[in-house]
Structure 1
Amino acid sequence: MLLSLNWLREFVPYTGSIQELADRLTMLGLEMEEIIRPFQDIDDVIVGHVTTRESHPDADKLSVCTVDVVADEPLTIVCGAPNVAAGQNVPVATVGTVLPGDFKIKKSKIRGVVSLGMICSEKELGLAEESSGIMVLPEDLNPGEKLVDALRLDTEVLDVGVTPNRPDCLSVIGLAREIALAFNLPMTLPAVHVPEDGPDTSDIISIEIPDPDTCPVFQVRALEDVTVGPSPDWLRWRLLAVGQRPINNIVDVTNYVLMELGQPLHAYDFDLLKGNIIGVRRAEEGQKFVTLDDQERTLTAKDMIIFDAERAVGLAGVMGGANSEMQASSTRVLLESAVFHPPSIRHTARRLGLSSEASYRFERGVDQPGSRFALNRAAGLMHQVAGGQVRPGIVTNEPSPWTETPITFRPARAASLLGIDLDEEFCRKTFVALGMTVECKSDSWTVTPPPFRPDLEREVDLIEEAGRVYGLDRIPAILPAITKDIDDQSATENDYSFANRLKTWAVGKGFNEAINYSFVGQTDLDLFAIPDDIRIPVANPLSEDQNVMRPTLIPGLMMSVRQNMSQGNTNLRLFEVARVFHAAPQNETGAFEPTRIGLVLSGRRNPNAWPWPDEECDYADLKGVVENLLTTFGHVDPTFTLKTDHPWLEPCVVVSTAAGELGVMGRVMPDIADSFLARKNVWVAELDADLLASVWRDHVVKFVALPKYPPVKRDITLIASVTLSVAKVFETINSARIPNLDDTTLIAVYQPEDNTEERNLSFRLTYRHPDKTLKDKEVDKLHAKLADSLTSALPVRF
């Protein structure tokens, strides 16, 4: 929202600096994006007075003018405009001035005559898109005065960032109300004067609203014998200052009132409307409609249109129709002021990619009772700038009148929630200044929010208002006292603590955490063939890519893969611990929300390590990580079962333990991985964190004394058939029951290129005696015994 300081001062007598104003509004929750100086490019242009004008001796279309800009220092300027004449006040860019478009004025010789500046047109000053000659200024201006000061242009404009819950601040009046409160200043509303004449408006138009839910109120006024043309300078300059393009006096008034009061309006050429009916209804599926920008739009049954007796004449709340727009020849105006269903406007604007100043406000909510005030304000201004007569009366159809919603406010509750003792008189004055009505009782008040504050629905909203006006920066930061009994140490670990434990494990294994939205797109779930019956659609999605609650972590993690791949990071170890959402109509909330842990491996196994810097991750890496996870959290003897016909994993392995089925792991199918920019294999696992937690919470911690004596390590390499599993070797080693064998680890697997039937398995064996230091001879004897056990029990050799 762009706020002109001059416009603000028409309603609030603020005299401070713009920086002070920006700082105070920021503390009120209205963040200042920047301070704009809209006419900065013409700040050096000054007012000049043409004293003489003569024809150029060598050019019929050029004039040689003498221009006074400073006393006793007239300038000679060659001008090509046909309308320049002696006695005029004109804008002058002297030598050295830089005009919009980075056009620098230099001393020049034009057909033999030296020119010391330029007399400017509105187009050259950036004040109009087209101009037929120089800009002629009012006669009462003083030569040498800066143009921006002489015309009283808006020199300072604030770009205010307004949060979606504060639609009231999308107007000058809304921000003026905040500023009056912040600086304890009076505020006056704009004056409204509507001189009415002629027959009543109800004689020529009626309003129909077949579906009352689409439009709470629709009201119109009629004007006749208006003259459509350029707006007066004050109106054009004001609109330019706040980023609006002047069009004509009728349309400019609707934009002016939109910015001033926050109420979108629309002006129809009454003569182009068919019949004596106007109204709001749903569009037909596939209906075609041409908007004001001359683009044909295809509508759906969710869109709303404005219609007359024969056709659609507007896209409700978004943009008017080309078939009823104001023309230069128009003489009759039907002025509309309405309130529409916000979700419908939001849906239409986003689906068509057609965001406008009107839709931006309608989709956040506008002041329903205030829409009539805005209608009268616009009608009065149109009469002022375009002449004509305003027909008496307002034709209104209001199927859903606005009703007050009183809220109970307890000062003691406010003090408890904010942590400070707010003075009750301060709270009362704050609420009244914000437009609320207050009935004070001893310990419970009744507060009625105004219609322009749809965000005030609960007591906590009122408490927030009191807190932000008091100054959230003034509330001291005090940490709450926390007492923790030593008996709590034996209590069951909660979900939050276990999730942190999982994250700590993942980080320790070299994974990076990914934090994704809880929303995904229906198209993403279709790609992974997720069943429709477990999906939970979002009622008002932020976008089509986030229109359903995630039933699995994998689509979000694959989006993280895409983001990394697009930035050149192809070696990935990602994890996420978060809730997923499954439709469960039997639950009170309609959803089942289990916690999952997702793992992603892709790229090189050890990108920065020797001796295998170029080896790619494979199934063994993923299985090793999952096995470590299960072992860490007390799940013993896991089983891994191959599953065929999985919709997006190939291979797919189901992970189970005695506690139940934990989840799946495997490789994302190449065609799916390719759609996420992954050119290498992507290995993923998604496991049930709740099931992991259930076993972990039942575990018993046992303490074992640290070993006192050093270990002795021996390596052994077995030559075995490729069909012999490593698990079988471990089982044989354990069953041999070799004394003092403390640990066995597989350290290498080698597959000779010329032998596809055998491979080499290297193990590291750790021997340790609990009561003494082992000697080499003792270890050699134990090692030889183990080797004999392996060769006798397994088809292996050394």
Structure 2
Amino acid sequence: MKLSYRWLQQYIDLDLSPSELAEALIGLGLEVEEVEPLGTDLKGVVIGRVLEVRPHPNADRLTLCRVDLGSGEPVPIVCGAPNVAAGQKVAVATPGTTLLLTDREGNRQPVTIRKTKIRGEVSEGMICAEDELGLSDDHSGILVLPGDAPVGHPFVEYLQQQGLTVPDYRLEVSLTPNRADAASHIGMARDLSALLDRPLRRPEVAVPEPGGEAARQVQVTIDAPEACPRYVALLVRNVRIGPSPLWLRQRLAAIGLRSINNVVDVTNYVLHECGQPLHAFDFDQLIGGRIHVRLARAGEQFTTLDGKTRQLPEGALLICDAERPVALAGIMGGENSEVTDTTTNILIESAYFDPSTIRRTSKALGLQTDSSYRFERGVDAGLQRWAAARAAQLIVEVAGGEIVPGVVDVQVRSFEPRTVTLRLPRLAHVLGTEIPSGEVRRILDRLGFAPKPEGEAFRCTVPLYRPDVHEEIDLIEEVARVHGYDRLPMPEAFTVPARVPDEPPAQALRRRVRTLLAGFGLREIYTNSLLPREVVRRFVPASGSDHQTDAPHLVETLNPISAEMAVLRPSLLPGLVQTIVYNQNRGQQVLRFFEFGRVFARTDRPDTPVPGFAEHEALVIGLSGPHAPEGWDVQPRLTDFFDLKGLIETLLDTLHLSDRMALVPAESPEPTVAYQMNLVADGRVLGTLARLSDALQEAYELRAPLYYAELNWDAFAEIAHPAQQRRYRPFSRFPEVDRDLAVLVDRDQPVGPLLETIREAGGELLRHVGVFDLYEGERIPSGKKSVAFSLRFGADRTLTDEEVDARLEAIVRELERRFGAQLRR
């Protein structure tokens, strides 16, 4: 939001400099990003009269002017403005005057005017445009003053007589979404009133009562009461559309707005004055003199003021006349009812629109305006009639006309203010200090909460412009920010626990795995938990054509910030792929990443914290590109599936989980992968190891295959935790026995299940088993392969050959029974 320093002074007495004002607002919790000067003190600028204008002999676009400055001989001035003419009253910067002028790069820099020659002709000053004086951004021509402007009079004094003060300063303030009340000059002044303990000055406005002649000329019906609980309409007749007066143009220019005409400028002025968006209709263009508020139908289109025809989302809120839409409620008016130079009768709209309805439509259309910015956050539900009356009063002042008596005020839902109690002992406990009750009462009263003492508490009525205040802690925050966080004393002593608290087991395991993965050469990444819908669809199998049934377990945001943040991620894989692509496109080759993060899905389980939704922490590991950087002694090969599998097996070994978890081939791989293995424990799938499908690899233009593992970390940690309790086991004082075993199995038989069977059949005597040879070829039957295992047996005694042979025979029998394996001799 943009704030004008001089404009703000209309509502509160300020003796703060612009930089001090910025510090004060920051202390109130309002982040000030920039303070920009909009002009200089204009010392040296006087009012002159152009006596003569003739062409410059050496430049086609320049003219030579003789200007009377009210003292002495007229001075020559070279001017490049297209609208300069003899007889005009103008503002002239005399030599020695410093102005803020825009350079070729668009930056405003201080420039001192000097007597000089321009294309061979002497120029003793500069006839100024509005932007050069800091009055607006208009540089289309020089500022032409009214005929009664006194020649030779200092221009600053003339402005003061018009109610203007220079120089002005623009403050760029970043508001948090809950502070809709601060999105106006009066709202900002209210906070400063509490901080500085000075009265807030609101303009005096005669607010008409509902009914009267206006209610007989305008009919308002609301068919969408949830989206539009209140609609106010007020009529002004016989206005004259034209340019706005200088004071109004300057106020709007100070906050970066372009002047349009006197009526539209007033609606913008009132919006930024009090925070209530308004819209002015050409009343004669409203068919039937009727306002009808309804929701848009599927496929409906509407042409907005910017000339664009927009496809409206179903459920968008429309303002219609008797036959057609005339405005997109809370966002932008329509081309068919805008105020033009021929307009004479005005209908002022001042309404309360539901924030979620406006936000949903604004995001769907990608169209945000000053009005939607405020409606999305929630405007004051009791301000509509005041704002309409204020606008009507100003329109009559700047455009003439008469206000039609009465007003139409249709309310389909009343807004009752909440009451919240603030206990002084609770305030002192939370803030760590006692604030005098008189100061607490003053702060709450200045902020509009109307505190009433009740013992050691205040009963507060929450004004309608503070929809963010619900509970006692909200009032405590209000008192704290105005009192000043920097004034809260530091405690004299801190309570320090006598011992370091134990680290939660899951957190300790996560920290250990992070360290291990970093040691394996992987880099940790953090990706966005919100993704575009089309990205998620690539990774989630579709089950229908409608976006609601494409993936019924997806969690979609109701009012996404943008289309890029429409769905909560169901997997960490999309973020990993995007990170791989980003690094690949910037010349990185060895790509090894991991990420811990939460994933989200819909569920039918009744035991979740939020019914219908579930989330858990996940771990994703991704490998792509060469397995190692190229070097004089290394000829890198492309990473393959066995690199990923080996990394996971090493991780399991290090965590003492090899005997509790197993990798088994997936019976029905997901359509997003080329092939897949599952990590299984106690019959439960904890995660997958896979290679990304060729279709996705091509879609993302990956130059090398991506191998990834994604684990349900919550489930993994639950099983892994007991294995992390380290117990001492002494080395055996007895020799261990090594044996080799080779069997013939079908060529497509995975080795993992063979290893699991050997471990089971080997019993307690089998200490270790591993694969040391895999052979196909000569002397091996067609369709078969030979797999050789190394086995190590041991016990807390000396084993006999008979015991070891018995275990080997049991292993061979079990392999033969389950897999048809044949012992190779």
Task: Report the TM range for the smaller structure's normalisation.
Answer: 0.7 to 0.9
Aligned to 1:789: none
How far is 1:620 from its partner? 1.0
Aligned to 2:12: 12
Query: 1:629, 1:263 → 2: CA distance?
Result: 60
2:521 is the alignment partner of 1:504: no
Change (3 A) 1:155 1:744: same
Query: 2:712, 2:632 → 1: CA distance?
Result: 35
Aligned to 1:696: 720
Query: 2:271, 2:353 → 1: CA distance?
Result: 15
Contact 1:63–1:78 (Cα < 8 Å) also in 2? yes
Aligned to 1:782: none
Which digits, 9 at most, give the CA deviation of each residue in 1:124-170, with x for residues without a partner? 77846576766236624755656997763452121111111101111
Contact 1:153–1:237 (Cα < 8 Å) also in 2? no
AA of the residue aligned to 1:295: K
The counterpart of 2:291, out of the listed 266, 269, 278, is 278
How far is 1:581 from its partner? 2.4
Query: 1:78, 1:416 → 2: CA distance?
Result: 71
Query: 2:489, 2:632 → 1: CA distance?
Result: 55
Query: 2:63, 2:717 → 1: CA distance?
Result: 90
2:149 is the alignment partner of 1:139: yes
The counterpart of 2:623, out of the listed 596, 601, 608, is 601
Comparing 439-448 with 367-376, which one deviates more in the overlay? Answer: 439-448
How far is 1:372 from its partner? 1.5
The counterpart of 2:122, out of the listed 110, 114, 121, is 114
How far is 1:625 from its partner? 1.5
Aligned to 2:572: 553
AA of the residue aligned to 1:383: V
Contact 1:662–1:687 (Cα < 8 Å) also in 2? yes
Query: 1:454, 1:280 → 2: CA distance?
Result: 24
How far is 1:477 from its partner? 6.2
Comparing 160-169 with 689-698, which one deviates more in the overlay? Answer: 689-698
Contact 1:655–1:661 (Cα < 8 Å) also in 2? yes
2:566 is the alignment partner of 1:544: no
Which digits, 9 at most, give the CA deviation of each residue in 1:230-268, with x for residues without a partner? 111100111111111101110000000011101110001
TM-score (norm 2): 0.81
1:200 is paired with a residue whose SS is helix
Contact 1:45–1:146 (Cα < 8 Å) also in 2? no
Comparing 412-421 with 110-119, which one deviates more in the overlay? Answer: 110-119
Which digits, 9 at most, give the CA deviation of each residue in 1:77-132, with x for residues without a partner? 24586764468443347599784454998877689753334424458778465767
AA of the residue aligned to 1:518: S
The counterpart of 2:246, out of the listed 220, 233, 246, is 233
Aligned to 1:164: 177
Which digits, 9 at most, give the CA deviation of each residue in 1:722-757, with x for residues without a partner? 97999899999999x9xxx999999999999xxxx9
- The aligned length equals 762
How far is 1:20 from its partner? 1.3
Contact 2:419–2:459 (Cα < 8 Å) also in 1? yes
Change (3 A) 1:7 1:609: same
2:594 is the alignment partner of 1:572: no
Identity %: 34
Change (3 A) 1:473 1:120: closer
AA of the residue aligned to 2:149: E
Aligned to 1:626: 648
Change (3 A) 1:73 1:627: farther
Aligned to 2:812: none
Instruction: Give the alignment of 1:90-101 within 5 angstroms.
Output: 90-92=91-93, 99-100=101-102
1:29 is paired with a residue whose SS is coil
Comparing 696-705 with 240-249, which one deviates more in the overlay? Answer: 696-705
Change (3 A) 1:280 1:55: same
Query: 2:127, 2:376 → 1: CA distance?
Result: 46
How far is 1:329 from its partner? 1.3
Comparing 233-242 with 598-607, which one deviates more in the overlay? Answer: 598-607
2:34 is paired with a residue whose SS is strand
Aligned to 1:183: 196
Aligned to 2:463: 450
2:670 is the alignment partner of 1:646: yes
Query: 2:490, 2:652 → 1: CA distance?
Result: 42
Aligned to 2:364: 351
Query: 2:11, 2:39 → 1: CA distance?
Result: 23
AA of the residue aligned to 1:139: A
1:517 is paired with a residue whose SS is coil
Instruction: Give the alignment of 1:723-762 within 5 angstroms.
Output: none
The counterpart of 2:426, out of the listed 407, 413, 423, is 413
Comparing 303-312 with 575-584, which one deviates more in the overlay? Answer: 575-584
AA of the residue aligned to 1:650: A
Change (3 A) 1:544 1:480: farther
Aligned to 2:697: 673
2:595 is paired with a residue whose SS is strand
Change (3 A) 1:732 1:351: closer
Query: 1:506, 1:477 → 2: CA distance?
Result: 42
Instruction: Give the alignment of 1:251-262 within 5 angstroms.
Output: 251-262=264-275
How far is 1:495 from its partner? 3.8
Instruction: Give the alignment of 1:262-341 within 5 angstroms.
Output: 262-341=275-354
Change (3 A) 1:397 1:497: farther
AA of the residue aligned to 2:518: V
How far is 1:765 from its partner? 13
Query: 1:726, 1:609 → 2: CA distance?
Result: 34
Contact 1:153–1:238 (Cα < 8 Å) also in 2? no
2:287 is paired with a residue whose SS is coil
2:262 is the alignment partner of 1:249: yes
Aligned to 2:29: 29
Query: 1:216, 1:195 → 2: CA distance?
Result: 20
AA of the residue aligned to 1:703: Y
Query: 1:610, 1:765 → 2: CA distance?
Result: 38
Contact 1:577–1:598 (Cα < 8 Å) also in 2? yes
What residue ranges of structure 2 are gaps of 5+ in the alignment? 544-550, 734-739, 778-782, 797-821
How far is 1:307 from its partner? 0.4
1:354 is paired with a residue whose SS is coil
Query: 2:72, 2:774 → 1: CA distance?
Result: 98
How far is 1:8 from its partner? 1.1
Contact 2:241–2:263 (Cα < 8 Å) also in 1? yes
AA of the residue aligned to 1:36: E
The counterpart of 2:527, out of the listed 507, 516, 522, is 516
How far is 1:330 from its partner? 1.0
AA of the residue aligned to 1:539: L
Change (3 A) 1:426 1:58: closer
The counterpart of 2:638, out of the listed 616, 630, 643, is 616
Change (3 A) 1:612 1:339: same
How far is 1:14 from its partner? 0.7
Contact 1:345–1:362 (Cα < 8 Å) also in 2? yes
Comparing 75-84 with 517-526, which one deviates more in the overlay? Answer: 75-84
Change (3 A) 1:438 1:235: same
AA of the residue aligned to 2:347: L
Contact 2:92–2:125 (Cα < 8 Å) also in 1? no
What residue ranges of structure 1 are gaps of 5+ in the alignment? 709-715, 771-792
Aligned to 1:590: 612
